[in-house]
Amino acid sequence: MTATLPAPLTPLPELESRADDVGRLVTEIRRLASDVAAVQATAEVRSADAAGWAGDAGEAADHEATRFSRALAAPEAALFSAAGAAEVFELALTTLQGERDDLEWERTGLNQDISETAARIAASGLALGDVLSGNAMVAAALRQRVGDAMRRMVAWVQRVEEAEATFIRALAMVDTTEEASRAVADVKAQEAAGQQVRDVVDDLIAAGVVPAVVRGMNAARLRDYLTAHPEVARRIVANRPRPDADGLEGLLAAGMGSAAVGKLFASMRESDARVLAQLYPDEIGNRSGAPFTYRAEANRVRILDQIERIDAQDADEFSQRRAEIRRTYQSLLDRDGDVVVFDPSNGAIAEVHGRLDAGTKNVGVVVPGTFADPTNFGDLAARSESFARAQADGSLATVSWMGGEFPPDLVAAGSSRYADDLGPRLADFSRDLRQELDLAGASDAHTTYVGHSYGGAVVGTAELSGLDADRVLHLESAGMGKGVDDPGDLPESQWQVRRFSMTAPGDLIGSFQGVPWAHGADPDEFDGTTHLDTGRYADGSKVSGYASHSRVFDPGSDPWKQTFEVMTGGTVRTHIPVLPLGPGGPPPPSGRPPVGGELIDLP
Amino acid sequence: MAVRIEVPDGVIESARAQWEAASIDLDLAWRSLHKVSAIGLSAEAGAGLVAFREAWVDRLKAAHRRAESHHDALDLTDDDFTVTDMGQAHLLRGLLPWAYHAAALRVVA
């Protein structure tokens, strides 16, 4: 057996375009656009103001002012469009720079590990391929890590190229009069919306919610500012929009439907919408219809606020639990994930792992079970993220969905009360997710809802509320959901959902599945459900017993692989029932017993 | 053939001033756009910016020239009226009694 250590990773290229310089461009071009807009507006007024100048000369003057005003609409639109494109580019560059820093940090650590491992092997005098030395396993693990890091580095380079291409394309789309003229209506609407956001900033400054220094900040700068000044984030979250206010503030105070919310954000430039999301985070963070990007931007401010609140409490009151929650919140900020649901009042958090974009083919939503709460959200996130990371081309995104209060103990887990509350919330979220995929140009993406333990009952109850899913996986599930005893109990919207179940032998949950008063039918015996095999762990031992309840998420184990295959529409292995041994039963198989059944390819 | 000019007092001067302001603002605009720099951008992004910039510099320059030509035309017209009025005033003064032949002529707005 031969084994090799991976070669050290080479540094990522520096970003050639710099966010600061692009920010300068935004300011310059927007100022120019405003100057041209002022000339255009004056000419427009003049054409309407030719009263008093009668006859042919007056008419000619009127017509020329109108023509001139219209002619200036095209450069005005082109310049505002260019400023908007540059602003989006600036935001992308800021994000990419942060990602580069993280990747470089990871690369440096990896290279150090490679070099230390090489030195250790040299000192031991044992060959790298010597199985007994364990070096081969270390080398394999390093190669795996290097492979993962390289994939992320390649993806980063692609994102840089995409950001540049988007910027160049946006400029080219308005570089002729005809193109710019077509864009006039949209640009004017976007500019009006941008002005409304600037008005919101002015109003908040006047009200003392944010300091004057915030005026003119773009979304990236505002984000940095609030991170450095959480006390301002706290004032922002405490501030409520006034229902009687004009403009965006009044709109946000009113209970808009998801379609109206979607329309509002569609009329805005991304940069303006991101600023608005940060200024009214409570109104946007969980709002159906708001694109996930803006919900995440809003929730970042709400998390800053929560951390600030915890830090402001007396040390005496600073409980262990609060410290753990603070750690969870801090880790959400540190990994800069997209938190698309956040509600500290009931512990709700949902985080997206990976990217929802035109390249997304599958999304897996993982719903946890009993004991899930903000103190252990990191465990759920690690589990969900492991699936997204495993798909090298980035076409699988996952969501850690903990959308409210879960049973805190096993006694409470017997009650369907929590599922009754969480199910409809999950169904609502599934529709938000579908809208997000449509917006991202990934309408054909398949969604899988994985309900683990009590989460299975939540997913089942969500199906009663019309969960928008292509696939459902009951993983060590408590049941199909209260009231779901056979397929006829499910609404017509769910008839096309493909269902799977997986329960390890010896998991105690098996004793509670199908108990009539609890969480509906046993998923493993539910008509139309494909019962999957749990197989073995990566070390070859069988997945069974009490510990298997949580260890089905061990990366590399068969149940983990099966879950991944369900999420990605791959190949799964069905369960075969364990037949009784002894008289009437089959003879015990020789060697390693069979642990799986038929392999089936999912559509 | 009778010619009737229906321009109230001050209108030509006001229009001239407005076209002049537009001409100056647009002159400044195209020059500022021309100076927008691609420094800090990658070669590809910079090339995209330059292509955009040059396309609109030319059009803003054309708009500036258009406003400038209107301003010049109105300036000329305003002068023509002044000269015409001055000529008429000279003729009128010639019809006045001798003592008033040297009366001063003043241009009023």
- Residue-level pLDDT at A188: 80
A52 → closest Cβ in B8, B18, B70 = B8
Q: Give the whole-angstrom CA distance, residue A410 versus residue A183.
A: 59
Evaluate if pTM is beyond 0.80: no
Rounded to two decimals, the ipTM of the complex is 0.77
Interchain pair A21, B33: CB under 8 A = no
Q: Give which of A32, A67, A69, A160 to mutate to test B binding, by max B Cβ within 10 Å.
A: A32
> Could you tell me if A340 and A349 are in contact, meaning their C-beta atoms sit under 8 angstroms apart?
no
B71: nearest Cα among B57, B63, A55: B63
pLDDT at A469 over 50: yes
Six-digit token pair at A592?
Answer: 């390693």
Angle at A323 between CA A321 and CA A328, to 5 degrees: 95
Average pLDDT estimate for A169-192: 84
Average pLDDT estimate for A459-478: 95
Q: Which residue of B has its CA nearest to A78?
A: B56
Give the start-end residues of each E strand in A278-388.
338-343, 348-353, 362-367
Whose structure tokens read 């209060």?
A405
Share of residues in chain A with pLDDT > 70 (%): 92
Identify which has the larger pLDDT, B87 or A115: A115
Q: For residue B18, which amino acid is it? A: Q
Angle at A254 between CA A250 and CA A256, to 5 degrees: 120
Average pLDDT estimate for A114-137: 74
Question: Taking all residues of chain A, what is their mean pLDDT, rounded to a whole number?
Answer: 88
pLDDT at A546 over 80: yes
pLDDT at A591 over 60: no
- Phi first, then psi: what are they for A401, rounded to 5°? -110, 110
Strands A571-573 and A529-532: unpaired
Alpha carbon A261 to its chain's center: 19
pLDDT at A124 over 80: no
Six-digit token pair at A355?
Answer: 């990217």
3-state SS string for A567-601: HHCCEEEECCCCCCCCCCCCCCCCCCCCCCCCEEE
Q: Give the whole-angstrom CA distance, residue B56 versus residue B29.
A: 10
- Residue-level pLDDT at A2: 54
Judging contacts by C-beta atoms under 8 Å, the chain B residues touching residue A75 are: 56, 59-60, 63
A65: nearest Cα among B38, B71, B106: B71
What are A494-526's pLDDT values in tens digits?
999 999 999 998 888 877 777 767 788 899 989
pLDDT at A462 over 50: yes
Closest Cα in chain A, distance from residue B34 (Å): 11
A346: nearest Cα among A402, A294, A384: A402
Interchain pair B25, A172: CB under 8 A = no
Interchain pair A20, B40: CB under 8 A = yes
Of the CA atoms within 13 Å of residue A315, those in its CB half-sphere come to: 0
- Residue-level pLDDT at A44: 76
pLDDT at B108 over 70: no
Judging contacts by C-beta atoms under 8 Å, the chain B residues touching residue A172 are: 48, 51-52
Interchain pair A53, B7: CB under 8 A = yes
- Residue-level pLDDT at A379: 96
> Could you tell me if A295 and A340 are in contact, meaning their C-beta atoms sit under 8 angstroms apart?
yes
Identify which has the larger pLDDT, A17 or A118: A17
Closest Cα in chain A, distance from residue B7 (Å): 5
Of the CA atoms within 13 Å of residue B80, those in its CB half-sphere come to: 8
Q: Give which of A88, A171, A173, A174 to mutate to test B binding, by max B Cβ within 10 Å.
A: A171
Residue A463 pLDDT level (bands cut at 50, 70, 90): very high
Residue B49 pLDDT level (bands cut at 50, 70, 90): very high
Does B63 contact A at CB distance below 8 Å? yes
Terminal alpha carbon distance of chain B: 28
Of the given ranges (A58-72, A90-104, A528-542), which has the lowest mean pLDDT? A58-72
pLDDT at B95 over 80: no
A39 → closest Cβ in B22, B41, B52 = B22
Residue A50 pLDDT level (bands cut at 50, 70, 90): low
Sign of CA dihedral A430, A434, A436, A442: positive
Identify which has the larger pLDDT, A600 or A262: A262
- If you average pLDDT over each of A171-175, A540-544, A586-590, B42-46, which comes out highest? B42-46
Q: Give the whole-angstrom CA distance, residue A273 versus residue A84.
A: 12
Q: Give the whole-angstrom CA distance, residue B24 versus residue A12.
A: 48
Measured in residues, chain A has a length of 603
Other C-beta atoms closer than 10 Å to the C-beta of B10 total 10
- Residue-level pLDDT at B1: 46
Interchain pair A17, B45: CB under 8 A = yes
SS3 call for B44:
helix
Identify which has the larger pLDDT, A594 or A410: A410
Whole-angstrom CA distances from A64 to A43, A148, B15, B29 are 9, 64, 12, 21
Interchain pair B56, A175: CB under 8 A = yes
DSSP A198: H
What are A88-101's pLDDT values in tens digits?
899 889 889 988 99
- Residue-level pLDDT at A465: 95
- Residue-level pLDDT at A588: 47
Does B50 contact A at CB distance below 8 Å? no
Does B28 contact A at CB distance below 8 Å? yes
What are A403-451's pLDDT values in tens digits?
999 999 888 888 889 999 999 999 999 999 999 999 999 999 999 999 9
Interchain pair B70, A25: CB under 8 A = no
> Could you tell me if A37 and B60 are in contact, meaning their C-beta atoms sit under 8 angstroms apart?
no
Judging contacts by C-beta atoms under 8 Å, the chain B residues touching residue A57 are: 5-7
What are A183-219's pLDDT values in tens digits?
788 888 888 888 899 999 999 999 999 999 999 888 8
Interchain pair B43, A168: CB under 8 A = no
Q: Give the whole-angstrom CA distance, residue A453 versus residue A457.
A: 8
A46 → closest Cβ in B18, B36, B43 = B18
- Residue-level pLDDT at B31: 95
- Residue-level pLDDT at A238: 96
Six-digit token pair at A361?
Answer: 């083919």
